[in-house]
Chains A and B, each alone.
Chain A
Amino acid sequence: MNQPQLKPTTDISSCRDDFPGLHQEINGHPLTYLDSAASAQQPNVVIEAVARYQREDHANVHRGVHTLSHRATELYEGARDKLCGFINAASRAEIVLTSGTTESINLVAQSYCRPMLNPGDQVLITWLEHHSNIVPWQLVCEQTGAELIVAPINDRGEIELDELRALMTDRVKLLAIGHVSNALGTINPLGEIIAAAKELRIPVLVDGAQGVPHLTVDVQALDCGFYAFSGDTVLCTTGTGVLWGREALLEKMPPYKGGGDMILEVTFDKTVFNELPYKFEAGTPNIAGTIGFGAAVDYLQSVGLQNISEHENTLHSYMVSELTKVDGVRLIGRAANQTSVQSFMLNDIHPHDLGTLLDHQGVAVRTGHHCAMPVMQHFGLPGTTRASLGLYNTTDDIDRLVVALEKARTVFA
């Protein structure tokens, strides 16, 4: 690993104390938060970094000559540097700040793919994808006459690698694939997949919304073309995100949105666009959120990304073993390589009914299709109940989930 790592200074078992949102009662029960894959709780250091900017340093970034604008710019650009180190990007020019994974993917669809795709070309995705890694490609295929093709999955919730490789031909202009499935927790074997794509010179976009929170990500080692992720699944506020792109790719791409900050010179005849990454960042950005993103990166590195992965993997194994013991539970998604997420059904109780019954006992889970309707269609289900873990969860949370499931079953008995 060539990524600079701060020496872990925080004992992971004491992390829980850093998250004020966890310490409350819901419906008379201690909150059991098992919905971090949808949005993670935030530690005090993130909340305080955002509040400090709003309290003491608030001004717009770039170009201002006054002190507050200078401070805001330093904090904002400092966060970009931290994000650059966090995923081991080669340069800060490759870190485009966006509103989240969804915008990052749309940026690539519209700026990289749209000018380049022709009728007969193909964009390749998989059945495991979140809607945000499906719909932007459908839109650009409709706009260009290109075709969207989809690699299948097996009943464990793993991509059929042989079939994925068979779909990789010289017609494919981009492969877009998740790092970790949000619905099933499957970790895709990206090394193998990206190497196969590279042989055919197919650039790869990785949807890392569920990868970055749980795995150490090194974009240079991954050797992909683009990596998209969000702040709110990595302990930051909503409305923050990153598109990392290889500089050579980003350089060739036209701007995605027009406005202030993305220009060098504007006349009515023509506009000279700003350098990377600002070419893609029109308008006043989410300054407070981005500063919080930097603080979240500092926090994660102080706990230690390896420690977090190990803790979550241990807890995931415990969750799987405890859920298996609950009468009537059927696990959905049993990939050999899986992390932090487990989908399941309890008898024939509809996930929305189960979600309400669990919430009544203070247990927060996600229910429904998880913005991955094709995954649900594969399993012939309207949706699942999904428990997802963060670094702050403990075995007590799993035990409370199990007790709540046992009680929920009696209501529908």
Chain B
Amino acid sequence: MNEPNDEMQDLYRHTILDHARQPRNFGRLEHATHTAEAINPLCGDRLRRYLCVDSRDQIIDVGFEGSGCAISVASASLLTEAVSDLSIAEADACFDLVTGRLTQQTDDIAAPENIDLSKLKALDGVRQHPSRVKCATLAWHALHAALDQSSTTATTE
């Protein structure tokens, strides 16, 4: 028999469990300039993303609310730390980076200069679990939809 928890501890790394238990920047942003909801219709997870963007297209505040599994909440929380202080263009590049790493299973996507990938790498364990990739990308689709502003709801489907 395998030692059951090795691979599981790779998926549920300390950073993931920490952010799932104590999500950062959790809650509604009253003065949000951009907002969008993302839904995973297969499981019913639902997250709303809030962004405050200033006149220079810089993200000055970011938050989220909603409920989901440990993977989706941790990913949503890690996102808030990754994109605060980025420009809209940089945040979009961050979306491409994270969703690309998870869905294309590659490390070969160049990270934008001022993005600290070290914490986001905690999500890499998800790549071994195809049925859970959508949990990890849900929050990022909400970010993408909020920045896009042409859509207010994103789904994983």
Contacts and interface: CB of A to CB of B under 8 A. Distances in A.
Contacts of B71: 352-353
A27 B4 CA distance: 9
Contacts of A260: none
Contact of A382 (B17, B45, B70): B45
Interface residues on B, range: 20 to 34
B110 interface: no
Interface in A59-117: none
Nearest to A373: B44
A369 B17 CA distance: 23
A368 interface: yes
A368 B44 contact: yes
B2 A411 contact: no
B70 A350 contact: yes
The dominant DSSP class at the A interface is mixed
Q: Select the residue from A27, A349, A360 with max chain B CB neighbours within 10 A.
A: A360
B100 interface: no
B149 interface: no
B38 to A, nearest CB: 15
Nearest to A27: B2
A359 B136 CA distance: 18
Contacts, number: 53
A28 interface: yes
Contacts of A28: 1-2
Contacts of B8: 356-357, 360, 411
A83 B43 CA distance: 34
Interface string B17-29: 1000000000000
B2 A352 contact: no
Given A368-B44, A383-B44, A407-B4, A412 B17 contact: yes
Interface residues of A, number: 23
B61 to A, nearest CB: 27
Contacts of A351: 69
Given A382-B44, A382-B67, A356 B11 contact: yes
A58 B71 CA distance: 47
A123 B69 CA distance: 36
A350 B68 contact: yes
Contacts of B5: 407, 410-411
Contacts of B132: 352, 356
Nearest to B11: A356
Q: Select the residue from B1, B7, B8, B12 with max chain A CB neighbours within 10 A.
A: B8
Interface of B: 1-2, 4-5, 7-9, 11-12, 17, 42-45, 67-71, 129, 131-132, 135
Given A407-B5, A412-B12, 18 more contacts: A28-B2, A29-B1, A352-B71, A352-B135, A353-B70, A353-B71, A356-B8, A356-B129, A356-B131, A360-B8, A367-B43, A368-B43, A369-B43, A369-B44, A382-B44, A382-B45, A382-B68, A411-B5
9 contacts: A350-B69, A351-B69, A352-B43, A353-B69, A356-B129, A361-B4, A369-B43, A382-B44, A407-B4
